Structure 1
Amino acid sequence: MPGALIAGDPIVRIAARGDGVSERGVAVALAAPGDTLLDDGRVVPGQHRQAPPCRHFPTCGGCVLQHVDDAAYAAFLADRIVSALHAQRLDAPAMRPAHLSPPRSRRRASLRAERVGRVAIGFNEAASRRIVDLAECHILHPALFALAGPLRALLGPMLAERRQSEIMMTLADQGIDLLLAGVDADGLRATEALTAFAERHALARLTVDAGMGAETRWEPRPVTVTLGGAAVALPPGGFLQATADGEAALVASVIEAVGDAATVADLFSGLGTFALPLAAGARVLAAEGARDAVLALKAAGAGRIVADHRDLFRRPYAAAELSRFEAVVLDPPRAGAKEQAAELAAATCRRIAYVSCNPATFARDAATLVAGGWRLDWIAPVGQFRWSTHVELVAAFARS
């Protein structure tokens, strides 16, 4: 009978949401490749199972794959990409070894806080609003996790009972950039508490969003992040790659995919993660829809980069415009670059480096490019979000 439990049914892969899947197609929570599913539902551990390092696993929604070793985790990242390509009837190209960010290396994170008698701070449980109050964390950079305890004391008077708030932390050049959203920080007492907290913990910046937009309360020096050797102004809540080593892996793959191109268009450029390193050897056009990011990139890349404030979903570059460049870099959000990919399919540039955080929308756009005569040469998976099901990649396309 399809789906029935089979004696000695081996677990062969990890599904998109983290369940193990047996050879007969049975999904088993918290199973790892190499485990064996018995006919009574028990799972016999196999060679790719490891002891989860964190006491909060598997309750905490921050991690779903702490029970698998690095070999199985890397295979999962590659399998997600290959499956997405097959769904679009595309053959998978050469897959580079996956880059895995090490534990405790996340430099950007969004946590939740709630006062239920006392303040709890952490990630939500999977598919739940309940917060796991973190006593330890094996993904956050130690500097970020060290702030959790002091934040519980700070937020106590600022949170109504049963009200949740968001805590966004980023490691910038000057220290931790902290943004608190959904807190009641009005009045002299709250203002003094925030200032004292920022001073005591040497924050780079403290910003509060009570529902009317972000308001910076503390910033002794302009907050920056270094990209391609340039200090770039970081807007409050601005996007930064999750880990420094993951960023380096993405940049190295993009540079390899672009090759010796002398002119490059970097589309969805953000603050210049790729544009600034590429500008060391090429003329670069950087296009981005977020005004704050464009202004920051213009200031940091003055004389090296032409920055264009442009909504590439509503106003993608035409094929004729893109054909003026030797290479194009694409780094769209999770929705992908459907409109821009259609124009790129007809462009005559030589190379494309596609950076994606969503294998499904990447595969959709890759199908458009391949149909337009592009060849998908290789893919480099990147696992910045250690032990999660989040997959990132760099893909290299060339004209057939």
Structure 2
Amino acid sequence: MNEFREFDIVRVGAQGDGLAEGDGAPVFVPFTLPGERVRTHVVGTRMQLHEILKASPSRVTPICSHFGVCGGCALQHMSSDNYGDWKRDQVIAAFGARGIDAPVRDLVRPRGLRRRAVFTARKNTELVEIGFHQAGTHDLVDLLECPVLDSHIVAVLPGLRTFIAPLMPKSDDVRVGVTMTGAGLDVTLDGVRRTLSPDVRTRIARAAALLRLARVSIAQETIFESLPPFLRFGTVDVILPAGIFIQAMAEAEHVMTEHIMMALGKVKSVVDLFSGIGAFSFPIATLAKVQAFDSDARAIDALNAAVKKATGIKPVTARVRDLFREPLSALELNDFDAVVFDPPRAGAEAQARMVAKSKVKTVVAVSCNPATLARDARVLIDGGYTLEAVTPIDQFQYSPHIECVAIFKRVKS
């Protein structure tokens, strides 16, 4: 029998759950707000909201019918003002934990929807469900709607359920990536175990054509392609390798680019570290020579292929290099007027230490993890840089994740 307990929520934690004081330890209750009194019960190892006894005036009606069950969003119930303040406060706290009184600006909230998503597909008897996991469980929410996703992605889900059904293994899940590109929807499947005979490939191609997909790839092998999927960065079109990383929201990417360009000002040469396929490299190349580095060979190949067809930009060169194991040295960095880096969530500590030893005047750091960004910022500040601004950007709407752009300038001796 479930034991019901009542708690007073005092604040919202870093993962978006409400926090109450328990018996000597904090208690986290999802989908709650400060000032609320709630009744809860335990499901598995996770505290679940059973009833709101006293609601916060900041509580609003969620925009999605799946909210409260689906693990994709955590904060749809929070008012707009409180939501913006909470995300900004998370960034301030992350920097404060490193002893940095950071000049954090208000949250920028781009008007856009996510252009990529990775779903889980699972066979339920003869039917296929596609969606996100329930919060804190391995159960699946079969999506009927998703207001934070591009409408083309949501609209294709019913067709994808039918399309994937013959490819599904008996018991295992399949990961389904869907990206909205300039050529249409690009679909990647991972976990398909069926032998891809010529007959199966033909059937996949026919079904994909009926759904008007741009491309279908299984384990990064292209099975069908009507048009090469591409994205435009600045004035340059880049053809996407299957399943390659891109920023989740085009409008958020544009905001990041604008902040980078303003920070760079008049420079002649820029090094773009963790460049990916060139989302920032090509806009920067409208004003300066760019050298790009990334550990993903497919990303660098795509970037270099786009360079060959590009016109009206400064020279761009790109090389494969593992910047975690082999960061650019201070001597190498001294050849550039500015550094831009956008690492994975783990941050770029080793590379930041090399930048801190360099003479580069301007550094722009882009990060989806305020904690590792603050760690790397501490390294740069200790190396003589001044942190001029940190701008949080709401690329991951209603989730606890926060994108940031931080601008550093070398202090003149």
Tell me whether the two structures share a fold, i.e. TM-score over 0.5.
yes
Q: Post-superposition shift, 1:186?
A: 2.4
Partner in structure 1 of residue 284 of structure 2? 278
Are residues 1:18 and 2:36 paired? no
Question: In structure 1, the residue corresponding to 2:130 is in which secondary structure?
Answer: strand
Q: Post-superposition shift, 1:171?
A: 1.0
Identity across aligned pairs (percent)? 37
Asked if 2 retains the 8 angstrom alpha-carbon contact of 1:323 and 1:347, the reply is: yes
Partner in structure 1 of residue 221 of structure 2? 215
Partner in structure 2 of residue 77 of structure 1? 87
Asked if 2 retains the 8 angstrom alpha-carbon contact of 1:352 and 1:398, the reply is: yes
Partner in structure 1 of residue 48 of structure 2? none
Asked if 1 retains the 8 angstrom alpha-carbon contact of 2:274 and 2:341, the reply is: yes
Partner in structure 2 of residue 52 of structure 1? 62
- How many angstroms apart in 2 are the aligned matches of 1:97 and 1:284? 30
- How many angstroms apart in 2 are the aligned matches of 1:122 and 1:141? 15
Q: Post-superposition shift, 1:42?
A: 4.9
Partner in structure 2 of residue 123 of structure 1? 132
Query: Could you tell me which amino acid in structure 2 is paired with residue 316 of structure 1?
Result: P
Equivalent pairs counted in the alignment come to 387
Q: 1:266-314: per-residue Cα shift (whole Å, max 9, x none)?
A: 1111111111001101111111111111121112234621212211111
Partner in structure 1 of residue 351 of structure 2? 340
Superposition TM-score, scaled by structure 1 size: 0.91
Question: In structure 1, the residue corresponding to 2:364 is in which secondary structure?
Answer: strand
Asked if 2 retains the 8 angstrom alpha-carbon contact of 1:322 and 1:344, the reply is: yes
Question: In structure 2, the residue corresponding to 1:100 is in which secondary structure?
Answer: coil
Are residues 1:173 and 2:182 paired? yes
Partner in structure 2 of residue 88 of structure 1? 98
The CA RMSD measured in Å over matched residues stands at 2.2
- How many angstroms apart in 1 are the aligned matches of 2:52 and 2:204? 52
Partner in structure 1 of residue 173 of structure 2? 164
Q: Post-superposition shift, 1:20?
A: 2.5
Asked if 1 retains the 8 angstrom alpha-carbon contact of 2:9 and 2:33, the reply is: no
* Partner residue of 2:363 out of 348, 352, 364: 352
Partner in structure 2 of residue 240 of structure 1? 246
Partner in structure 1 of residue 337 of structure 2? 326
- How many angstroms apart in 1 are the aligned matches of 2:38 and 2:234? 53
Q: Post-superposition shift, 1:174?
A: 0.5
Q: 1:326-380: per-residue Cα shift (whole Å, max 9, x none)?
A: 1110101111101100001111111110000111111111111111111111111
Q: 1:113-167: per-residue Cα shift (whole Å, max 9, x none)?
A: 0001121100011222211011111111110011110111122222133321010
Question: In structure 2, the residue corresponding to 1:123 is in which secondary structure?
Answer: strand
Q: Post-superposition shift, 1:317?
A: 0.8
Q: Post-superposition shift, 1:23?
A: 9.9
Q: Post-superposition shift, 1:22?
A: 6.3
Asked if 1 retains the 8 angstrom alpha-carbon contact of 2:9 and 2:18, the reply is: no
Question: In structure 2, the residue corresponding to 1:280 is in which secondary structure?
Answer: coil
Uncovered stretches (5+) of structure 1, i.e. residues with no partner: none
- How many angstroms apart in 2 are the aligned matches of 1:360 and 1:176? 34
- Alpha-carbon spacing, 1:219–1:39, altered in 2? closer, same or farther (3 Å): closer
- Alpha-carbon spacing, 1:187–1:26, altered in 2? closer, same or farther (3 Å): closer
Query: Could you tell me which amino acid in structure 2 is paired with residue 235 of structure 1?
Result: P
